[in-house]
C-alpha cells in the first residue's frame, strides 16, 4: 500500500513538471521562514517558477513568493527583504488609514499628516516639526490592537510632547489596557 501512495505522488510530480509554470524548487536558504501579519503567523515560502518578475501570493497560512528561474543561482535575501517590505507597506497603507480615521473621531483632532516609512527599531514617531506621524510598515506584524495602541500613543503626543503624567492619563482614557499592550513591545520605540 505504501508503494501505491509513492507511485501516486510521483505521477502528481510529473503532472506538475509538465505545467508551463512548473516549480523548480523551494529555496530553503532565505529568511525569514515565518513572519506575522496582524499577529497571525504565516510560513514564508520562496519558489522558482517560469514567471517574468517576482510575485507574491498570500494564503490563509502562507506567503508564497515566486521568483523567476533566472534568479535561481543568485543570493536572493535582498530580493526577499524588498518583496516583504513592499507587502507590509501595501497592507499598512490600507489598514493604517482606517485606524487613523478611528483615532481622528475618538480624539476629535488629528496630525497634519502621516507617512508610512521604514525605520530601524521604531514602530512610530511623532515629528514635532512637521506635526505628522511616521509609521513603520513593519508595525502590521503586530496584532491590530497593538497597532491601534501605538497610533493612539502618537495622537497623545499631539497634545503632550513628552511622556508626562498628563500624557499617560490621556492615553489611559483612550486605551485603558495600554500598559499590558506596551509590555508586548519590548525594545521597540514608539
Confidence (pLDDT) at 55: 95
Whether 33 and 63 have beta carbons less than 8 Å apart is answered as no
Confidence (pLDDT) at 15: 30
pLDDT in tens, 4-32: 333 333 333 333 333 445 556 788 888 89
Report residue 89 as a C-alpha cell. Answer: 507597506
The span from the CA of 88 to the CA of 118, in Å, is 10
Report residue 38 as a C-alpha cell. Answer: 496582524
Confidence (pLDDT) at 24: 62
Confidence (pLDDT) at 23: 55
pLDDT in tens, 92-132: 999 999 999 999 999 999 999 999 999 998 999 999 999 99
> Once rounded to an integer, what is the mean pLDDT over residues 136-161?
97
pLDDT in tens, 30-67: 889 999 999 999 999 999 999 999 999 999 999 999 99
- How large a percentage of the chain has pLDDT more than 70? 87
- Residue 75's pLDDT band (boundaries 50, 70, 90)? confident
Report residue 20 as a C-alpha cell. Answer: 508551463
Confidence (pLDDT) at 72: 87
pTM, to two decimals: 0.81
Q: Which residue has the cell 521568483?
A: 67
Report residue 144 as a C-alpha cell. Answer: 491590530
For residue 174, the tally of other CB atoms under 10 A from its CB is 16
Confidence (pLDDT) at 26: 82
Amino acid at each position: 500500500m505504501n508503494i501505491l501512495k509513492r507511485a501516486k505522488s510521483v505521477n502528481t510530480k510529473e503532472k506538475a513538471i509538465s505545467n508551463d509554470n512548473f516549480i523548480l524548487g523551494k529555496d530553503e536558504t532565505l529568511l525569514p521562514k515565518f513572519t506575522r501579519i496582524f499577529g497571525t503567523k504565516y510560513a514564508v515560502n520562496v519558489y522558482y517558477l517560469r514567471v517574468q518578475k517576482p510575485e507574491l501570493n498570500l494564503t490563509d497560512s502562507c506567503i508564497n513568493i515566486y521568483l523567476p528561474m533566472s534568479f535561481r543561482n543568485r543570493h536572493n535575501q535582498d530580493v526577499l527583504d524588498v518583496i516583504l517590505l513592499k507587502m507590509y507597506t501595501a497592507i499598512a497603507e490600507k489598514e493604517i488609514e482606517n485606524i487613523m480615521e478611528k483615532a481622528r473621531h475618538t480624539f476629535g483632532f488629528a496630525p497634519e499628516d502621516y507617512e508610512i516609512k521604514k525605520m530601524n527599531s521604531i514602530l512610530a514617531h511623532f515629528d514635532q516639526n512637521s506635526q505628522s506621524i511616521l509609521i513603520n510598515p513593519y508595525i502590521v506584524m503586530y496584532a491590530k490592537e497593538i497597532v491601534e495602541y501605538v497610533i493612539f500613543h502618537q495622537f497623545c503626543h499631539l497634545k503632550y510632547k513628552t511622556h508626562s503624567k498628563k500624557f499617560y492619563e490621556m492615553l489611559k482614557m483612550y486605551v485603558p489596557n495600554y500598559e499590558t499592550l506596551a509590555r508586548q513591545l519590548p525594545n521597540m520605540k514608539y
